[in-house]
């Protein structure tokens, strides 16, 4: 492995220790992500920035200074574009170091190239450390706060958060009433849970469309669990109901929560969407 690549790796991989502290990214970024943007222009800029820097380094490794000059100028253009898109970050950019990086390539100055690469690399790492995770959480993941869903029990449109709370409460009450021997109340809670769980597809289908997604989140094992709950409710059979709920929890609820719940809770902490 070449010395320049080793040098880059040292400054390209941030090390996090202790508490992780995330800064809220500038609101300007919002216009570069859906739904305000058709695509992800800021993410594309970051990709182009990374490609142009890597191409510059590989050119210098190969002592192809002419090719390196072409790529370092592309890197400079991409780097300066950050400040145009997000004015708050413009003052954080190491523009002088980038200018010197260009000059070092033009002069075939390897020592100067490494020195200025270090300065620029550190600034990239610091920005990523502060904002990369929070930006992804807020803008790259869909927000559930704006989602509403029709409740089949009350026949009212309610927020996704309220819907999930009602369905979870139904499941808890079903278990409690079964354990307490309150059959009628267990049946009522169980019926409401089944209705709400089966209607959950209406909110998921906007993103998880197609047969593959359906089979993943509402698989045969989930259907088996739901069937066991329904059968168990006929005579309030505790073992069958609990086993059915376990199937649903493992093969549906856990999968969805592992995919969505962390970023949803972080979005709630930032209170930005």
Contact yes or no for 226/196 (Cβ under 8 A)? no
Q: Among candidates 236, 150, 239, which has minimal Cα distance to 190?
A: 236
Alpha carbon distances (Å) from 210 to 198, 213, 251: 17, 6, 18
Distance from C-alpha of 134 to C-alpha of 263, rounded to nearest angstrom:
9
Kindly state the helix (H) or strand (E) to which residue 116 belongs, with its residue range: helix 110-135
Please write the tens of the pLDDT for every residue from 164-203: 999 999 999 999 999 999 999 999 999 999 999 999 877 7
The secondary structure of residue 138, as a DSSP letter, is I
Say what the pLDDT of residue 165 is.
94
Say what the pLDDT of residue 11 is.
45
Structure-derived torsion over alpha carbons of residues 30, 33, 37, 40, reported in degrees to the nearest 10: 140
Alpha carbon distances (Å) from 273 to 64, 139, 140: 47, 9, 12
> Rounded to the nearest 10 degrees, what angle do helices 3-12 and 41-61 cross at?
150
Say what the pLDDT of residue 13 is.
45
Say what the pLDDT of residue 179 is.
97
Contact yes or no for 103/112 (Cβ under 8 A)? yes
- pTM of model > 0.85: no
Distance from C-alpha of 204 to C-alpha of 202, rounded to nearest angstrom:
6
Residue numbers of the chain with a pLDDT score lower than 50: 1, 6-7, 9-17, 272-273
SS3 label, residue 268: helix
Say what the pLDDT of residue 57 is.
96
Say what the pLDDT of residue 212 is.
65
């Amino acid at each position: 492995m070449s010395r320049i690549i080793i040098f880059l790796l040292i400054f390209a991989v941030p090390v996090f220790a202790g508490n992780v502290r995330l800064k809220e990214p500038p609101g300007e970024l919002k216009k570069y992500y859906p739904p305000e943007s058709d695509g992800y222009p800021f993410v594309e800029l970051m990709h182009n920035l990374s490609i142009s820097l890597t191409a510059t380094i590989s050119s210098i490794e190969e002592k192809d200074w002419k090719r390196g000059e072409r790529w370092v100028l592309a890197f400079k253009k991409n780097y300066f574009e950050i400040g145009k898109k997000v004015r708050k970050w413009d003052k954080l950019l190491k523009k002088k170091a980038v200018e010197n990086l260009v000059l070092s390539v033009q002069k075939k100055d390897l020592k100067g190239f490494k020195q200025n690469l270090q300065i620029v690399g550190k600034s990239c790492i610091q920005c990523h450390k502060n904002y990369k995770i929070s930006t992804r959480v807020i803008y790259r993941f869909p927000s559930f706060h704006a989602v509403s869903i029709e409740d089949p029990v009350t026949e009212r449109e309610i927020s996704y958060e309220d819907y999930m709370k009602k369905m979870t409460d139904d499941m808890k009450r079903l278990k409690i009433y079964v354990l307490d021997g309150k059959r009628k109340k267990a049946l009522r809670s169980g019926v409401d849970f089944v209705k709400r769980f089966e209607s959950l597809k209406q909110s998921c289908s906007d993103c998880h469309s197609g047969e593959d997604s359906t089979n993943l989140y509402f698989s045969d094992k989930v259907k088996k669990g739901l069937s066991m709950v329904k059968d168990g409710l006929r005579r309030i059979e505790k073992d069958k109901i609990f086993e059915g709920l376990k199937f649903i929890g493992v093969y549906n609820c856990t999968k969805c929560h592992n995919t969505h719940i962390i970023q949803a809770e972080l979005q709630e902490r930032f209170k930005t969407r």
